[in-house]
Structure 1
Amino acid sequence: MLRIILFLATNLAVILVASITLRLLGVEPYLNANGLNMNSLLIFCFVFGMAGSLVSLFISKWMAKKSTGTQVIDTPRNDTERWLLDTVAELAQQAGIKMPEVGIFPAQQSNAFATGWNKNDALVAVSAGLLNRMRPEEVRAVLAHEIGHVANGDMVTLALIQGVLNTFVMFFARVVAQVVDSFLRRDDSGGLGFMGYFAVVIVAEIVFGLIASVIVAWFSRFREYRADAAGATLAGSGAMINALARLKAETQMPDQMPDTLTAFAITTGQSRKIMERLFASHPPLDDRIRALKESAYRQ
Structure 2
Amino acid sequence: MGKRVLLFILTNILVMTTLVIAWTLITTFTGIDPSIRDAGGTGLGINYTSLMVFSLLIGFGGAFISLLMSRWMAKKMMKVKVLDPDGQLSAAERSVVEKVHRFSRAAGLMHMPEVGIYQSAEVNAFATGPSKKKSLVCVSVGLLNNMDEDAVEGVIAHEVAHVANGDMVTMTLLQGVVNTFVVFFSRIAAIAVSRFVKPELQFVVQFAAIIVFQIVFSILGSIIVSAYSRHREYHADRGGGDLAGRDKMAHALRSLKAHVNRASVKDRTDDSAIQTMKISGKGSMMKLFSSHPDLDDRIARLEQR
**Taking structure 1 as the reference length, what is the TM-score of the superposition?**
0.79
2:70 is the alignment partner of 1:60: yes
SS at match of 1:121: coil
SS at match of 1:104: strand
SS at match of 2:282: coil
Q: Deviations over 1:28-48 (max 9, x none)?
A: 531132311223212222222
2:230 is the alignment partner of 1:218: no
Alignment partner, residue 4 of structure 2? none
Matched-pair contact (CA < 8 Å) for 1:103–1:123 = yes
SS at match of 2:271: coil
| Distance across 2 between alignment mates of 1:234 and 1:267 | 26
Q: Which ranges in structure 2 are unaligned for 5 or more consecutive residues?
A: 1-6, 40-44, 264-269
SS at match of 2:122: coil
Q: Deviations over 1:107-138 (max 9, x none)?
A: 11221010000012100011111112222121
Alignment partner, residue 30 of structure 1? 35
Q: CA RMSD in A?
A: 3.4
Alignment partner, residue 91 of structure 1? 103
Q: Which amino acid aligns with 2:296?
A: D
2:125 is the alignment partner of 1:112: yes
Taking structure 1 as reference, are residues 7 and 164 closer, same or farther at Cα in structure 2, changes over 3 Å only? closer
Alignment partner, residue 44 of structure 1? 54
Alignment partner, residue 237 of structure 2? 228
Matched-pair contact (CA < 8 Å) for 2:151–2:251 = yes
| Distance across 1 between alignment mates of 2:174 and 2:250 | 29
Taking structure 1 as reference, are residues 11 and 219 closer, same or farther at Cα in structure 2, changes over 3 Å only? closer
Matched length: 273
Q: Which ranges in structure 1 are unaligned for 5 or more consecutive residues?
A: none
SS at match of 1:114: strand
The correspondence for 2:94, drawn from 75, 79, 82, is 82
Matched-pair contact (CA < 8 Å) for 1:267–1:282 = no
Matched-pair contact (CA < 8 Å) for 1:71–1:105 = yes
**Taking structure 2 as the reference length, what is the TM-score of the superposition?**
0.77
Q: Deviations over 1:172-202 (max 9, x none)?
A: 23334556778x79xxx99x94455456655
| Distance across 2 between alignment mates of 1:108 and 1:206 | 31
Taking structure 1 as reference, are residues 256 and 68 closer, same or farther at Cα in structure 2, changes over 3 Å only? farther
Taking structure 1 as reference, are residues 49 and 73 closer, same or farther at Cα in structure 2, changes over 3 Å only? same
Identity of aligned residues (%): 42
Taking structure 1 as reference, are residues 256 and 121 closer, same or farther at Cα in structure 2, changes over 3 Å only? farther
SS at match of 1:250: helix
Worse-superposed segment, 165-174 or 91-100: 165-174
Q: Deviations over 1:76-105 (max 9, x none)?
A: 422222222222111101111121001111
Alignment partner, residue 132 of structure 1? 145
Taking structure 1 as reference, are residues 172 and 294 closer, same or farther at Cα in structure 2, changes over 3 Å only? same
Q: Which amino acid aligns with 2:227?
A: W
Q: Which amino acid aligns with 1:61?
A: R
Matched-pair contact (CA < 8 Å) for 1:68–1:105 = yes
2:180 is the alignment partner of 1:167: yes
* Shift, 1:268, TM fit: 2.5
2:79 is the alignment partner of 1:69: yes
